[in-house]
A and B are shown apart, each in its own frame.
Chain A
Amino acid sequence: MSEIQYLEGKQPDPREHRMIFRNVDRVGWNPSIDRYLEDGGYEQLRKAMDMDPQVITDEVKKSGLRGRGGAGFPTGVKWGFIPPKNTKPVYLICNADESEPGTFKDRYILHQDPHQLIEGMVITCLAVGAHVAYIYIREEFPEAAKTLETAIAEAKGKNFVGKGVLGSDFDVEIHVHRGAAAYICGEETGLIESLEGKRPYPRIKPPYFPAALGLYMCPTIVNNVESLCHVKHIIGMGGDEYAKLGTPRNTGTRILCVSGDVKKPGYFEVEVGKVTMRELLYDMCGGPKDGREFKAVIPGGSSAKILRCDETFTLKGQGPDGTDKELSFWDIPMDFDSLAACGSMAGSGGVIVMDDSRKMSWVLNNINQFYAHESCGQCTPCREGSTWMRKITDRIVAGKASPRDIDILESVAHQIDGKTICAFGEACSWPVEAIIAKYRDELVADTKPENAEAALNPEAEAQRRYLQKA
């Protein structure tokens, strides 16, 4: 195979390990099945067809793959939760509702490499015994929905999908289902309700763990787009080989999406934990914009707790001989466990960077507006609280707040966190709790009359004008 060439200006960084994004921005690439087959496509499916379903699941367990949608739960273990004596149909749902602010990885897979996803899905269907699969794709990806429909039709034409896959007695149908612009549909039980044609109010767990009581109360596996793509590569290289990528407990590659105040934002597929915050933001993203300094980073989508760039963390028992280890922000390896140990999370891989031109009150207000708009309204603490939090930060940005508002804001967040059916409660309260914990002085100072009226940067000023009109 000749060396892969990438489009001018879109060449991967040398520190990247392109596997899932191997074909993204590739010269001479297109989403057709012919192009995919020329490149060895569907070989992994052929291999999986000869494997026992339990062996496929075991390989995925051995690989250590952790879900790429946000929670980082081991994928193989999730598959294993289907009740052993189940007699109902099993469903697979691909969660393509990518909507966590800061995340923009699935977009490129869906638009440019749909067959990689379909191959991963069919292999997963074999493993879990599903004969019907749905791709729940967000409404705001209309082009991708068409690309997927075309790709599924092509795959059916070549018998990779449909009746008797590749001459076997295994049938599988894949359907594309478009959402309707609601963030909560990314929550797996909300997604299932939506697929049933209802309002996407999340279900309470227990008892409604999808692997046991999912779509139509049948066992249902819900996996993120990127996770399903990894399945194909795990079958290709074997679980043990795959587990050598990345670091122990944080295996494989993952796509980091960097946006905000860096010179060169973009997506980078790296081995998990092999790149530090410094390498990512300075070497791969070109550092801060001219004349600016990095201030804060949200490392895993807007729900992840913010980290200050001047912070140092004490990791208990992680030093030599079980002593505590000091870790500066810049030395954090980008993996699930390290970011969790620093009090945040790797989440969906969306890294949002803010420089010293950004006021934290404005940043928090923008985030609060998102969650107030997206709360589904099922649980009172979240429905009311997310709006209260937004209103308080509206006041700060509009220059009409008092220092006491910061305490009220904090108390509202504490009354949501842990008191709702789904994780949206945490998603909307963690940014508030973290920004107050780390920037309380700045927020309080913003409420003083002399600061409240001070000019913001132009982007923020436009939003302030808008709030003041209200």
Chain B
Amino acid sequence: MSEAVLKELVASPETPGTKHFPPFKPTDELEAEATRRLAQFPDDHKRSAVLPILHHIQHHHGFISAEAIQWTADRLGIEPIKVAEVVTFYPGFRQSAPGKFHIRVCRTLSCAMGGSYELMDRLCEITGIDRSSLDPHHHPIAVSPCGTWSVEFAECLASCGTAPVCLVNDDFHEGVDADKSRQLLDQYAKA
């Protein structure tokens, strides 16, 4: 896979959230994480470390760029396509920057019965996010014009008894009906 093909496959268009994340650059911390993770698998199965390395990159850089894919492939000694196919398959990996605070609203049955679609509507209303032009089925990420917020529907977050629920970055929030949207966002707006 040539670099040009890879860049075409993972274009990572700029979003209003881009400014909140440093562009991908290999760091000592990343190298240490890769070494630690590789030690968890047999020497002839380095490919197993691809998910943990990508998680580390996404956590620091917001998404997985073509450069990040190339670095990961080189570090693991595998073809870039083998990293790219993972990035394009798993909904947990993004190819462009989310907002500074990324909100994942559960839309599966129990949360939907608890009002998660209304929650999503209200969050978009408050943050000025327009989801109307998006495909309603593949859960695309929508970023607010200011770049502070982004929203995405998630499938079952496994807390159906406290519906509706959502994740804001790594923080889990339960029992968040639409009326609590403002309160939820305020916690982060001040941060």
**Size bracket of the A interface:** 35 or more
Q: A369 vs B116: C-alpha distance in the bound complex, in angstroms?
A: 14
- A-contacting 9-mer, from B3-11, B12-20, B158-166: B158-166
CB pair B45 A199 closer than 8 Å: no
- Chain A residue at smallest Cβ distance from B133: A469
CB pair A180 B161 closer than 8 Å: no
CB pair A467 B136 closer than 8 Å: yes
Residues of B within 8 A of A175 (CB): 40
CB pair A352 B110 closer than 8 Å: yes
Residues of B within 8 A of A302 (CB): 108-109
Least distance between B94 CB and chain A CB atoms (Å):
10
A265: interface (CB < 8 Å): yes
B154: interface (CB < 8 Å): yes
Least distance between B79 CB and chain A CB atoms (Å):
12
Q: Is the interface of A mostly helix, strand, loop or mixed?
A: mixed
Q: A370 vs B137: C-alpha distance in the bound complex, in angstroms?
A: 9
Residues of B within 8 A of A363 (CB): 109
B93: interface (CB < 8 Å): yes
Residues of B within 8 A of A259 (CB): 110, 160-161, 163
CB pair B91 A181 closer than 8 Å: yes
Instruction: For chain A, residues 62 to 106, give those with C-beta under 8 angstroms from any C-beta of chain B.
Output: 98-104, 106
Task: Flag B138-163 by CB within 8 Å of A: 1 or 0 each.
Answer: 11000000000000001111111111
Known contacts A181-B90, A198-B86, A102 near B55 by CB under 8 Å: no
Known contacts A352-B160, A370-B156, A470 near B92 by CB under 8 Å: no
* A142 partner, pick from B47, B115, B159, B170, beta carbons under 8 A: B170
Q: A195 vs B52: C-alpha distance in the bound complex, in angstroms?
A: 10
A462: interface (CB < 8 Å): yes
Among B114, B120, B156, B163, the one with the most A-chain Cβ atoms within 10 Å of its Cβ is B156
B35: interface (CB < 8 Å): no
* A257 partner, pick from B104, B136, B161, beta carbons under 8 A: B161
Residues of B within 8 A of A372 (CB): 137
Least distance between A206 CB and chain B CB atoms (Å):
23
CB pair B85 A194 closer than 8 Å: no
CB pair B157 A140 closer than 8 Å: yes
CB pair B91 A199 closer than 8 Å: no
Q: A125 vs B93: C-alpha distance in the bound complex, in angstroms?
A: 32
Instruction: For chain A, residues 179 to 205, give those with C-beta under 8 angstroms from any C-beta of chain B.
Output: 179-183, 194-200
Least distance between B78 CB and chain A CB atoms (Å):
8
Instruction: For chain A, residues 349 to 372, give those with C-beta under 8 angstroms from any C-beta of chain B.
Output: 350, 352, 354, 358, 363, 366-367, 369-370, 372
Q: A372 vs B86: C-alpha distance in the bound complex, in angstroms?
A: 19
CB pair B110 A101 closer than 8 Å: yes
Known contacts A103-B160, A104-B160, A458-B118, A181 near B112 by CB under 8 Å: no
> Considering the complex of A and B, which 8 residue pairs feature the smallest CB-CB distances, nearest first?
A180-B92, A259-B160, A181-B92, A180-B90, A462-B117, A197-B47, A259-B110, A197-B50
| 7 examples of A-B residue contacts, CB within 8 angstroms | A101-B156, A104-B161, A178-B51, A197-B49, A265-B161, A358-B113, A470-B136
- Other than A101-B109, A175-B40, A466-B136, give 6 A-B pairs with Cβ distance below 8 A: A100-B156, A107-B158, A140-B158, A197-B86, A265-B162, A373-B155
